[in-house]
Amino acid sequence: MTLGALLGSCLIATATAPATAIAKEAPSNPERSNHPDRPIPPEMMKQFDKDNDGKLSPEERQAMRAKMEERQKEMLKKFDKDGDGKLSEEERKAMYEEMKTKMEERRKEMLSKYDADGDGKLSDEERKKAREAHQAEMLKHYDKDGDGKLSEEERAAMPKRLEGGPDHRPGAGGPGGDAGPVKPSVE
């Protein structure tokens, strides 16, 4: 899959979830939100399954919901220009356009840095180099104890945009491909 196609797929997936949730004014359905059988996307599982048991405990689910609600509020605050508490079709289009522009800028940046053969896409080897460079950069800036891993405390000190924020959402592509940005291992 080319980087462009990957980024496009991720843009749609990432943009649709918050916009859809924001646009609807349906009250929260506690029965649905506590539905333990509902499949969790792998990138969400990776981010919120803190005990790595392959499922989300009630506390882990609550943390995931809180993060999603926080993200929805951020999106609403940024794009709800008329202040009615939901995104109109026009506001949603503005959000998509901004996200599309950012994704294209990111794609061009990645290609300029890592497309060694100049074919306009990243090969597996080029993506591997991009991941390794990203990991090294993350460790350089945030691994305060120098152990080659990011502890929970070190991860918590990272800027929000690097911890699942607008520029580096799980599943957003980036140097890590389909699984989102590769984060150095956590103890």
* Count: domains in the chain: 1
Instruction: Tell me whether residue 150 is in a domain.
Output: yes
0.75 exceeded by the pTM?
no
Instruction: Tell me whether residue 88 is in a domain.
Output: yes
Which has the closest alpha carbon to 158: 132, 133, 138? 138
Q: Which domain holds residue 138?
A: 3-179
What is the per-residue pLDDT across 76-131, written as a single tens digit (0 to 9) for each? 999 999 999 999 999 999 999 999 999 999 999 999 999 999 999 999 999 999 99
Which has the closest alpha carbon to 138: 128, 150, 124, 126? 150
